Amino acid sequence: VEAAKRLAAYAAVDRHIGLEHKLIGIGSGSTVPYVVDRIVQQGPKANAGRVFLPTGFQSKELIIKAGLALGDVDQYTRLDVTIDGADEVDSNLNSIKGGGACQLREKVLADMADTWVMVADYRKNSEVLGTNWKQGVPIEVVPFAYAQVLATLTKQGGTPTLRMGKAKAGPVVSDNGNFIIDAVFPKDQMLKPAELLVRIKLITGVVEVGLFTDLAKAAYFGNEDGSVTVRA
């Protein structure tokens, strides 16, 4: 799987990050480290004058450790390119994101980018969302409202659970100080992710939803046989 992640990341960087691209968003998760590796391989001359914006703590550490210039998101309202991972991508380039609890800042940097591209291994390549990713749609909520949001999601046909820490007692807390609810929905709702996104986003207390619709220019999937599938 790691080789497949690397294949996707390298193909996306080689195609979408040229010398003219100076403002670059870096996503979160276990595939984007290969994106950063490939950017570093372009060499110091290519990276001089570039600025890299992170989508969370892990992403920021990646940029710093790679010796790339870290940008302050307050100083920019647009980016040339953002490359990010995904938990699952459907045939229309809609995706479930937030497995790493980073979807709020990830969506900010996706919105800012002229080009937003996803990179993933073959496990994420689906026809319909929810086919392979069984953990549900990650939803960032303010802690004050999580019980009400759980109840409303249930009323709307979802099966929601508050995401609890593994190496931490109590709930996972996002980089923004919020909780994450993972909600599984029936297939008929997952077939229309843009409508589902709006329904969830309108629930009081919801900060952001891990459904990325009508945002991606392309998705790159590394395959076990060493090939790369590009959906654009």
Q: Could you tell me which residues are beta bridge partners of residue 212?
A: 95
Answer yes or no: are the C-beta atoms of 194 and 201 closer than 8 Å: no
Q: Which of 20, 88, 106, 140 is catalytic?
A: 106
Min. distance of Cβ 155 from ligand DER in angstroms? 26
- The answer to the question of residue 25 lying near ligand DER (CB under 6 A) is no
User: Which of residues 11, 12, 17, 27 is near ligand DER by CB under 6 A?
Assistant: 27
128 to 157, contacts with ligand DER by CB under 6 A? none
Q: CA–CA distance from 82 to each of 65, 68, 120, 215, 228 (Å)? A: 19, 15, 14, 11, 19
- The answer to the question of residue 208 lying near ligand DER (CB under 6 A) is no
The number of residues that bind ligand DER (CB under 6 A) is 16
Min. distance of Cβ 174 from ligand DER in angstroms? 10
What are the DSSP E strand ranges found in 42-195?
51-54, 79-84, 88-89, 95-96, 113-121, 137-141, 159-162, 179-184
How far apart, in whole angstroms, are the C-alpha atoms of residue 61 and residue 59?
Answer: 5
Is there a catalytic annotation at residue 106? yes
Token pair belonging to 156: 């709307």
How far apart, in whole angstroms, are the C-alpha atoms of residue 25 and residue 221?
Answer: 19
- Which part of the chain contacts ligand DER (CB under 6 A), choosing from 46-54, 79-87, 180-188, 215-223? 79-87
- The answer to the question of residue 54 lying near ligand DER (CB under 6 A) is no
Please report which residue ranges of 42-184 form alpha helices under DSSP H: 44-47, 57-65, 103-112, 146-155
Min. distance of Cβ 74 from ligand DER in angstroms? 23
- Which part of the chain contacts ligand DER (CB under 6 A), choosing from 29-37, 42-50, 108-116, 191-199? 29-37
Answer yes or no: are the C-beta atoms of 63 and 70 closer than 8 Å: yes
User: Which of residues 25, 54, 85, 193 is near ligand DER by CB under 6 A?
Assistant: 85
Answer yes or no: are the C-beta atoms of 67 and 40 closer than 8 Å: yes
- The answer to the question of residue 33 lying near ligand DER (CB under 6 A) is no
103 to 132, contacts with ligand DER by CB under 6 A? 103, 106
User: Which of residues 11, 16, 26, 28 is near ligand DER by CB under 6 A?
Assistant: 28
Residue at 115: amino acid letter: T
Binding site for ligand DER (CB under 6 A): 27-31, 84-87, 97-100, 102-103, 106
| Active site residues per annotation | 106
